[in-house]
RNA sequence: GGAGAGGUGGCCGAGUGGUCGAAGGCGCUCGCCUGCUAAGCGAGUAGGGGGUUCACAGCCCCCUCGAGGGUUCAAAUCCCUCCCUCUCCGCCA
């Protein structure tokens, strides 16, 4: 949710932001609806005030006087009920639209509406040159017997995979490697719930917009998270934090579940796009003045991790129209995939400013004694599945064996994945 | 799955129809005192919305004691529905 004051005092800012996202919303009508809500509510409150005052006198009155006053108060109560219902109805109508309004786009977010408009900020590392025909990760996975999507299809359907043997070990190495780095950087490690209540998804901005992407467990009224961002953000829901605890930084490890509805035919090879994968996620709660710096900090941590894994990548500033509802600005790190001869998304980090904090009511006690909304940010540290396949593809050799990046060797105890004899 | 208890302010915790947005305590803020620290004394301190306004200053109003509905002139207090938390038993990684 964005600040209502924007709609009231600077609707042109909202107009502009929506236009940058390529959305059409009748802002004038929204503003008018809001005005009518307030007008009606105000009239109702005035009636209520008179009714309450009269009620106080009734306690002290006797006889006829009392009876007359009660009759009058009764009429006021009726009137209040009527106006109040009218205001409720208008407000419902307003909220229905208002909750779908995405965050204001940051001035420095890239222009454009699709992935193709993402603005490249930098490239680091060179794509590997092979003197043989490189295999894609699915081929390598089969050859090395470390990824099995055929049997996964039998057991669970399409877009699932088994990590097997050294790839399974690689997962744990990556997770521990990332966690170690993050703890060093001041993050508190977390293993959060992956089943959450609806409010957590609404609060993080995934609902109502992306509802069809989320697995639901109707019998229990719970939902499977697509990222631990959801459970980490909601961790401090409804809280008023002391200012001095900010920034709060969490490193959450969780499995992520995504329905991938509407992606039929896209990325069907291997485990590039699956319904279930594990991820280490960074999440930060900051003072509003600190979120821009924090965003850059998260990005630099992501870059450090990718560099340490010796993967060639580029950083893009995501186009306004391609941002999620809650993000004001987002950076993606795209890593080179030799089989696709292109850079594909490996990590992503967003500054959601006060959008999630407003919905989740996460505030801090500010210096002046009042409360202010915090800012929240999230960023991928390691998306395990994709990182594994990036390692396979980039560090493969002619015989199909794969070299383990040096930084992971201490976690694994081997430096090569070879085809079984 | 069975049985029971309970949801009140930043936190703990009183409060069964009007004088309760709410005792008391903790915490916090300011001041005083104590030659440091600790203790002590005094005052203040819920959140949200709206109106007025140049104003995030004042002043005024409304809402909120888990949520929603109901009874009543009047509800934290009475009634109904739902949600949530905890305890014991059962099951269980």
CA of A203 to C1' of B65 (A): 24
Q: Are A89 and A146 in a shared domain?
A: no
Radius of gyration of chain A (CA): 27
The residue that minimises its CA distance to C1' of B63 is: A45
| Average confidence score pLDDT of chain A | 92
Among A136, A143, A83, smallest CA distance to A390 is for A136
Where is average pLDDT lowest: A74-88, A148-162, A170-184?
Answer: A74-88
Q: Are A57 and A139 in a shared domain?
A: no
Whether A109 is covered by a domain: the verdict is no
Among A170, A190, A169, smallest CA distance to A179 is for A190
Q: Are A191 and A235 in a shared domain?
A: yes
Whether A287 is covered by a domain: the verdict is yes
Domain final residue pick, A40, A64, A98 = A98
Q: Do A355 and A130 contact (CB within 8 A), yes or no?
A: no
Whether A107 is covered by a domain: the verdict is no
Summarize pLDDT for A355-367 with one digit per residue, the tens. Answer: 999 999 898 888 7
Q: Are A122 and A70 in a shared domain?
A: no
CA–CA dist A353, A289 (Å, integer): 10
CA of A195 to C1' of B8 (A): 30
pLDDT grade, residue A34 (50/70/90)? very high
Q: Are A171 and A273 in a shared domain?
A: yes
Look at chain A and report how many structural domains it folds into. Answer: 2
Whether A31 is covered by a domain: the verdict is yes
CA–CA dist A276, A260 (Å, integer): 10
Q: Are A193 and A269 in a shared domain?
A: yes
Q: Which residues of A239-266 are buried (b: 16+ CB within 10 A; e: fewer)?
A: eebeeeebbbbbbbbbebbbbbeeeeee
CA of A87 to C1' of B7 (A): 29
Taking residue A157's Cβ as centre, other Cβ atoms within 10 Å add up to 9
CA–CA dist A98, A3 (Å, integer): 11
ipTM: 0.81
CATH of the domain at A47: 1.10.287.40
Summarize pLDDT for A90-148 with one digit per residue, the tens. Answer: 888 898 899 999 999 999 999 999 999 999 999 999 999 999 999 999 999 999 999 99
Of A72, A198, A303, A345, which one is the catalytic site residue?
A345
Q: Are A221 and A306 in a shared domain?
A: yes
Whether A110 is covered by a domain: the verdict is no
**Strand nucleotide closest to residue A8 (CA to C1'):** B50
CA of A67 to C1' of B61 (A): 27
CA A317, A276, A254, A389 torsion-angle sign: negative
Mean pLDDT of the region A323-330: 96
Domain carrying residue A390: 115-417
pTM of the model: 0.92
**Strand nucleotide closest to residue A41 (CA to C1'):** B50
pLDDT of residue A370: 77
Q: Do A251 and A337 contact (CB within 8 A), yes or no?
A: no
Dihedral over alpha carbons A137, A142, A147, A148 (to 10 degrees): 130
Mode of pairing for the β-strands spanning A188-190 and A147-148: unpaired
Domain final residue pick, A66, A98, A130 = A98
| Nucleic strand B under 7 Å from the C-beta of A241 | no
Of A249, A348, A358, A359, which one is the catalytic site residue?
A348
Full 3-state SS string of A161-228: CEECCHHHHHHHHHHHHHHHHHHHCCCEEECCCCEECHHHHHHCCCCCCCHHHCCEEHHHCEEECCCC
CATH of the domain at A139: 3.30.930.10
Q: Are A142 and A222 in a shared domain?
A: yes
Summarize pLDDT for A187-230 with one digit per residue, the tens. Answer: 999 999 998 988 899 999 998 888 989 998 887 888 999 999 99
CA–CA dist A36, A163 (Å, integer): 57
Q: Is the peptide bond before A208 cis (omega within 30 degrees of 0)?
A: yes
Mean pLDDT of the region A339-361: 94
Mean pLDDT of the region A358-379: 87
Whether A325 is covered by a domain: the verdict is yes
Q: Give every strand in the sheet of A371-373, ordered side by side.
A: A240-242, A363-365, A371-373
Active site residue A254: no
Whether A106 is covered by a domain: the verdict is no
Active site residue A151: no
| Nucleic strand B under 7 Å from the C-beta of A221 | yes
Domain final residue pick, A73, A98, A123 = A98
Q: Which residues of A177-187 are buried (b: 16+ CB within 10 A; e: fewer)?
A: bbbebbeebeb
CA–CA dist A339, A347 (Å, integer): 19
- List A257's β-bridge partners, or say none: A276
Q: Are A219 and A297 in a shared domain?
A: yes
| Nucleic strand B under 7 Å from the C-beta of A42 | yes
Max avg pLDDT among A50-64, A126-140, A256-270 = A126-140
DSSP A308-324: HTT--EEEEE-BGGGS-
**What are the percentages of helix, strand and coil residues in chain A, rounded to 5?**
45, 20, 35
Q: Are A74 and A221 in a shared domain?
A: no
């Amino acid at each position: 949710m964005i600040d209502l004051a924007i709609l009231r005092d600077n609707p042109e800012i909202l107009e502009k932001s929506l236009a940058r996202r390529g959305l059409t919303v009748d802002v004038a009508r929204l503003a008018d609806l809001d005005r009518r809500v307030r007008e009606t509510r105000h009239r109702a409150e005035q009636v209520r005030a008179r009714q309450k005052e009269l009620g106080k006198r009734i306690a002290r009155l006797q006889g006829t006087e009392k009876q007359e006053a009660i009759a009058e108060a009764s009429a006021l109560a009726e009137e209040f009920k009527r106006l109040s219902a009218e205001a409720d109805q208008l407000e419902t109508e307003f909220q229905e639209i208002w909750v779908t309004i995405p965050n204001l786009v940051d001035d420095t977010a890239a222009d454009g509406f699709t992935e193709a408009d993402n603005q490249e900020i930098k490239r680091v590392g060179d794509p590997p040159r092979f003197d043989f025909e490189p295999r894609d990760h699915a081929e390598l996975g089969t050859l090395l017997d470390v990824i099995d999507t055929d049997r996964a299809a039998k057991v669970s359907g399409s877009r699932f995979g088994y990590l097997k043997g050294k790839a399974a070990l690689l997962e744990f190495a990556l997770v521990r490697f990332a966690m170690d780095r993050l703890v060093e950087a001041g993050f508190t490690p977390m293993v959060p719930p992956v089943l959450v209540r609806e409010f957590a998804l609404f609060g993080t901005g995934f609902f109502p917009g992306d509802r069809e992407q989320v697995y639901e467990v109707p019998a229990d009224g719970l939902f499977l998270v697509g990222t631990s961002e959801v459970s980490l953000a909601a961790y401090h829901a409804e809280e008023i934090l002391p200012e001095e605890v900010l920034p709060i930084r969490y490193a959450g490890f969780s499995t992520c579940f995504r329905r991938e509805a509407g992606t039929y035919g896209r990325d069907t090879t291997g485990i590039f796009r699956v319904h279930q994968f594990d991820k280490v996620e960074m999440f930060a709660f900051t003072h509003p003045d600190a979120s821009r710096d924090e965003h850059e900090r998260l990005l630099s941590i992501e870059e450090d991790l990718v560099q340490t894994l010796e993967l060639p990548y580029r950083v893009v500033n995501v186009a306004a129209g391609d941002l999620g509802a809650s993000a004001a600005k987002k950076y993606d790190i795209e890593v080179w995939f030799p089989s696709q001869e292109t850079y594909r998304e490996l990590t992503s980090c967003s500054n959601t400013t006060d959008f999630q904090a407003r919905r989740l009511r996460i505030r801090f006690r500010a210096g002046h004694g009042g409360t202010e909304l915090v800012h929240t940010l999230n960023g991928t540290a390691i998306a395990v599945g994709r990182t594994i396949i990036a390692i396979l593809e980039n560090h493969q050799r002619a015989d199909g064996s794969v070299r383990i990046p040096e930084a992971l060797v201490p976690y694994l105890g081997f430096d090569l994945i070879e085809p079984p004899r």
